[in-house]
């Protein structure tokens, strides 16, 4: 897909008022970086700043930066980037994995025995990451690197979850298609809601709980309402820097190298900062609020793993390439 004039995309998307900000055509502007993340994401936004700083330092990129959805909202970031509205976007994989199914390999439940192995699979130099970029290149997209946000847990208000039967009938908020498939596989009803709606939905009983990583809980003060969290690898996602393949290929070698190194910094240093915030700020806040974290041993995990096998099959069908699907899963499990 070639980059279309920015003004055309913005008008088509109902964003014509932003056309003057973004410029009129590819090549006639300073490079643009955009994200829906706000500076209030203490665990995530520092990584964005690290990425941009390293790209600026090594490649001379003088980005116009638009955080907080100022240029493109969460659902518009990748489509906008592919149409040339932005050159680099930082986006959560779960928002785009239905359109780019190979990304779902890193979102599936119970693919890695522990977070250390999962983290190795997320490394931009890993076999899994190289395979993902091979597949993304067919759709003119490239991932430069990303932060692994930690495993997604099941959080509830009134009922602790210790078996799949405990999920049956619960209305659980999800943010992506694979999360929704996982909740359905466990017998629950997925409800798609933005994180800004969660506090009120939990308070009113519109939903019974949610599937999310730790950062969503604390950033929205949901520990004030939630009472239980079941800690296991029910899902995962990454927060990645994406660009168009043709834009990346058109850059001088020094700038391509700079973006690659910035991606490694986002993965390495951004994830390290996220983990530090989670361990020293977010987990203590959850525990102080009285949320009970439920750990599952191997015997208790097995029924969840068995139930989630259908999610893996659903993803394989969506990808439509059995060889690539098996290769991706093997590379994650062997990382």
More confident residue, 8 or 213: 213
Query: Looking at the domain assignment, is residue 131 inside a domain?
Result: no
Confidence of residue 17 (pLDDT cuts 50, 70, 90): very low
Query: Looking at the domain assignment, is residue 269 inside a domain?
Result: yes
- Please give the average per-residue pLDDT across 122-145, as a whole number: 97
Same domain? 194 vs 325: yes
Same domain? 270 vs 167: no
- Contact 279/134 with Cβ under 8 angstroms? no
Question: How much of the chain exceeds pLDDT 90, in percent?
Answer: 86
Same domain? 211 vs 313: yes
Q: What tokens does 47 get?
A: 């990584």
CATH code at 199? 3.40.190.170
pLDDT digits (tens, 9 = 90+) for 138-156: 999 999 999 999 999 999 9
Judge residue 14's burial from the number of C-beta atoms within 10 Å of its C-beta, 0-12 exposed, 13-18 middle, 19 or more buried: exposed
Q: How many C-beta neighbours within 10 Å does residue 30 have?
A: 11
Confidence of residue 3 (pLDDT cuts 50, 70, 90): very low
More confident residue, 28 or 184: 184
Domain span at residue 51 reads 6-100+139-148+238-279
Same domain? 74 vs 182: no
- Please give the average per-residue pLDDT across 63-89, as a whole number: 96
pLDDT of residue 196: 85
Query: Looking at the domain assignment, is residue 317 inside a domain?
Result: yes
pLDDT of residue 22: 46
- 10: pLDDT strictly greater than 70: no
Query: Looking at the domain assignment, is residue 130 inside a domain?
Result: no
Same domain? 243 vs 220: no
- 23: pLDDT strictly greater than 70: no
Question: How much of the chain exceeds pLDDT 70, in percent?
Answer: 91
Mean pLDDT score across all residues of the chain: 92
- 296: pLDDT strictly greater than 90: yes
Same domain? 307 vs 185: yes
Same domain? 177 vs 314: yes
Query: Looking at the domain assignment, is residue 30 inside a domain?
Result: yes
Same domain? 170 vs 291: yes
- Contact 282/291 with Cβ under 8 angstroms? no
Same domain? 273 vs 317: no
Alpha helices in the chain (DSSP H): 6-12, 19-22, 45-59, 77-82, 115-122, 127-137, 177-185, 198-204, 214-219, 245-250, 253-265, 271-277, 283-288, 298-319, 322-333
- Please give the average per-residue pLDDT across 252-265, as a whole number: 98
Query: Looking at the domain assignment, is residue 116 inside a domain?
Result: no
pLDDT of residue 195: 85
- Contact 74/94 with Cβ under 8 angstroms? no
- 302: pLDDT strictly greater than 60: yes
pLDDT of residue 194: 84
pLDDT of residue 36: 93
Confidence of residue 27 (pLDDT cuts 50, 70, 90): very low
- CA–CA distance, 198 with 157 (Å, rounded to integer): 12
- Please give the average per-residue pLDDT across 265-283, as a whole number: 98
Reduced to 3 states, what is the DSSP secondary structure of residue 212? strand
The least confident of 130-134, 161-165, 216-220 is 216-220
Same domain? 185 vs 224: yes
- 12: pLDDT strictly greater than 60: no
Query: Looking at the domain assignment, is residue 290 inside a domain?
Result: yes
Same domain? 289 vs 205: yes
Same domain? 272 vs 285: no
- Please give the average per-residue pLDDT across 174-183, as a whole number: 94
Residues in CB range of 19: below 8 A, 6 or more apart:
6, 7, 10, 11
Confidence of residue 40 (pLDDT cuts 50, 70, 90): confident
Please tell me the pTM assigned to this model.
0.89
- Please give the average per-residue pLDDT across 32-41, as a whole number: 93
Distances (CA, A) of 64 to 19, 60, 91, 93: 14, 13, 17, 23
- 1: pLDDT strictly greater than 70: no
Query: Looking at the domain assignment, is residue 298 inside a domain?
Result: yes
Q: How many domains does the chain have?
A: 2
């Amino acid at each position: 897909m070639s980059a279309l004039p920015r003004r055309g995309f913005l008008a088509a998307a109902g964003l014509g008022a932003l056309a003057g900000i973004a410029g009129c055509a590819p090549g006639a502007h300073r490079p643009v970086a955009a994200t829906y993340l706000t500076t209030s994401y203490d665990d995530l936004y520092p990584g964005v700043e690290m990425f941009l700083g390293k790209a600026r330092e090594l490649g001379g990129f003088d980005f116009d930066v638009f955080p907080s959805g100022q240029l493109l909202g969460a659902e518009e970031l990748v489509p906008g980037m592919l149409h040339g509205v932005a050159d680099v976007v930082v986006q959560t994989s779960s928002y785009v994995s239905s359109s780019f199914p190979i990304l779902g390999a890193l979102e599936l439940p119970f693919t890695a025995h522990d977070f250390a192995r999962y983290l190795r699979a997320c490394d931009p130099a890993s076999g899994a990451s190289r395979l993902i970029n091979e597949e993304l290149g067919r759709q003119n997209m490239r991932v430069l690197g990303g932060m692994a946000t930690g495993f997604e847990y099941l959080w509830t208000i009134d009922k602790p979850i210790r078996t799949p039967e405990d999920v049956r009938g619960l209305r659980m908020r999800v943010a992506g298609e694979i999360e929704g498939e996982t909740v359905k596989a466990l017998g629950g009803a997925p409800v798609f809601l933005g994180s800004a709606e969660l506090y009120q939905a939990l308070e009113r009983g519109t939903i019974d709980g949610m599937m999310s990583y730790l950062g969503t809980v604390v950033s929205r003060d949901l520990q004030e309402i939630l009472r239980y969290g079941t800690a296991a690898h029910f899902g995962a996602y990454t927060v990645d820097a994406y660009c168009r393949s043709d834009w990346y290929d058109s850059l001088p070698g020094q700038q391509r190298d700079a973006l690659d190194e910035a991606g490694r910094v986002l993965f390495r240093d951004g994830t390290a900062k996220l983990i530090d915030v989670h361990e020293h700020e977010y987990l203590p806040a959850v525990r102080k609020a009285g949320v009970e974290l439920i750990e599952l041993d191997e015997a208790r995990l097995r029924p969840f793993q068995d139930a989630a096998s259908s999610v893996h099959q659903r993803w394989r069908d969506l990808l439509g390439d059995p060889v690539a699907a098996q290769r991706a899963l093997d590379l994650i499990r062997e990382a």
